[in-house]
A and B are shown apart, each in its own frame.
Chain A
Amino acid sequence: MDLSQALQMVSRSDAGMVRSHNEDAVFINAPMGLAILADGMGGYNAGEVASGMATTLLGTELEKAFQKTAPHQQEASGKLHSHVVLEAEIARANTAIYQAAQSQPQYAGMGTTLVTAVFYDNMMTVAHIGDSRLYRLRGGEFQAITRDHSLLQEQIDSGMITAEEARHSQNKNLVTRALGVDPVVEPEIRDYDTMPGDVYLLCSDGLNDMVEDEEIALTLQALSANLELAATQLVQTANDSGGRDNVSVVLVRISREYPAARSWWARLLQWFR
């Protein structure tokens, strides 16, 4: 099913003003409703390798899997196909990165954050690991959908520090989960309904560390009619504020509904559920 009429997607990835390498990687496929963003870590160019492996492996494997079976189908286990595929492919990407890190000394210790959104059937499934985020702008309301897997988020949750103080913390860069650093990884996978008019933002911490949420919201509200410009503007704002880290964004706008095509008996079954 081609979603390019219902979804508009753009992406930008920039090294920023300070770093020489861009260790972020993005992958988008609007017709299939796939958006993937990864922020790599590790010495030399290992971060790039990890994030590049994550987006490339996941991108191609998710494309293949969802071409074969639509993500909204339910498996015998009762789970949505999207969840089964995401779990399996994230585990595979994790193994691939982990093994590369184990076998090549120059890649030792590399890993990457990950945020992935799969759009289908008027909803999206979001999988994330680490501190790359997904935000939603719905009406005038802008909010983070994902919660970072980071030391700082744990400190906020336990009441040690407030969200405001967290902005001044020096422990911003410590994630508690990452892809490729351990033999197994536990992604957080959740479903959300989408509505026409929604704008979704996937971003690396190079954006949300440099630019306040209100500023991001204002930019998306003002420029949602022109996603390309909005994406460029977000990267530019991060760079104008110092651009201390790589900055990557993926923007997705829902322009109309996109219910999954179902056979008549499947629709009938759904009716009686």
Chain B
Amino acid sequence: MAAKLILSMDGLVLKEIPLTKERTTIGRKPHNDIQIDNLAISGEHSVIVTILNDSFLEDLNSTNGTYVNGQPIKKHFLQNSDVIELGKYKLKYLNETPSQTTAADFEKTMVLRPDLMKKTAEQTAAKAVSPTDTQVGMKAIDTHTNVAPPPQAAAPAAAPAAAQVSGAIQILTGANAGKELELTKNLTTLGKPGVQVAVITRRPHGYFITHVEGANFPVVNGATLDAHPRELKDHDVIELAGVKMEFFVKG
């Protein structure tokens, strides 16, 4: 599925433009791929370079500038549903290939080979959902240089759902009694290296404690662990290297 642009003005959709070409030019003059006949638009306003599934927008020193999501840009690596603004016109960038259902198939590794450029590009686009066809790509990326987008902070990738409990450990005995340790990292090791170490892992569905090293295994609520992880419940008491501590759930 090729990426596309939806051209609109004042909320009125004017046109839908698939990004099938390697270079798609936008401007006032008629030779542009996307012609916008408006005085606020420069003759050659901007260009979109598309390489397989990625598209890069570049402003061509236009008089009134190119904006993405309200910010002026010189070069920009387009992300799905970015809104490009040129004067009063808006171009919404849609690239639906990474939708959850097709992502799995699309992520299959494929080989690029220096032949069959056009044909396979179409195949890749058309048959993205079919994992069974011959997976050969192409290679012709040396023609367009300097498409480096700005070193701006790109939108972070969808982080794993943060909707999970946060846990902490309170030391009950020994020199550090009373101290609290928040379990904010995915991995927290406890104990003395070389003597006895356990790790508490934070997973989407809770916290787990596992023995790492040492002859003695950790004890939870009086029961000695085996080599397998054990899920921690609120107010579980852990004994490790002679120190007692309590796990509890915060907020």
Contacts and interface: CB of A to CB of B under 8 A. Distances in A.
B186 A218 contact: yes
A147 B155 CA distance: 25
B109 A113 contact: yes
A223 B187 contact: yes
B141 A223 contact: no
Given A43-B131, A223-B212, A174 B104 contact: no
A79 B62 CA distance: 58
Nearest to B133: A43
B107 A242 contact: no
Interface in B191-231: 193, 197, 199, 201, 203-204, 210-213
B54 A171 contact: yes
A226 B160 CA distance: 26
Contact of A171 (B51, B113, B145, B147): B51
Interface in A115-154: 130-131, 151, 154
Interface in B86-106: 95, 97-98, 103-104, 106
A273 B145 CA distance: 47
B147 A160 contact: yes
A12 interface: no
Contact of A245 (B107, B187, B203, B213): B107
Interface string A9-25: 00000000011000000
A161 B77 contact: yes
Interface in A159-190: 159-162, 164-165, 167-178, 181-182
A222 B107 contact: no
Interface residues of B, number: 53
A68 to B, nearest CB: 34
A28 to B, nearest CB: 21
Contacts, number: 136
Identify whether the interface residues of A are mostly helix, strand, loop, or mixed. Answer: loop
A233 interface: yes
A168 B155 contact: yes
Contacts of B119: none
B148 A109 contact: no
A176 B112 contact: yes
A241 interface: yes
Interface residues of A, number: 55
B46 to A, nearest CB: 17
B148 A161 contact: yes
Contact of B187 (A19, A160, A165, A218): A218
A146 B44 CA distance: 42
B173 to A, nearest CB: 24
B191 to A, nearest CB: 10
Contacts of B95: 170
A151 B112 contact: yes
Given A181-B136, A237-B186, A242-B160, A168 B79 contact: yes
B250 interface: no
A181 B112 CA distance: 10
B133 to A, nearest CB: 7
Contacts of A236: 201, 203
B134 A171 contact: no
Interface string B165-203: 000000000000000000001110100010001010101
A241 B160 CA distance: 6
A222 B199 contact: yes
A171 B52 contact: yes
Interface of B: 51-54, 56, 77, 79, 95, 97-98, 103-104, 106-113, 131-137, 139, 141, 145-149, 151, 154-155, 157, 160, 185-187, 189, 193, 197, 199, 201, 203-204, 210-213
Given A131-B109, A237-B186, A240-B204, 12 more contacts: A19-B104, A41-B109, A109-B134, A170-B52, A171-B52, A173-B106, A209-B107, A223-B187, A233-B201, A240-B203, A244-B104, A245-B107
13 contacts: A18-B104, A39-B109, A41-B110, A41-B135, A43-B134, A151-B112, A159-B148, A161-B148, A170-B97, A173-B106, A175-B111, A215-B186, A233-B201
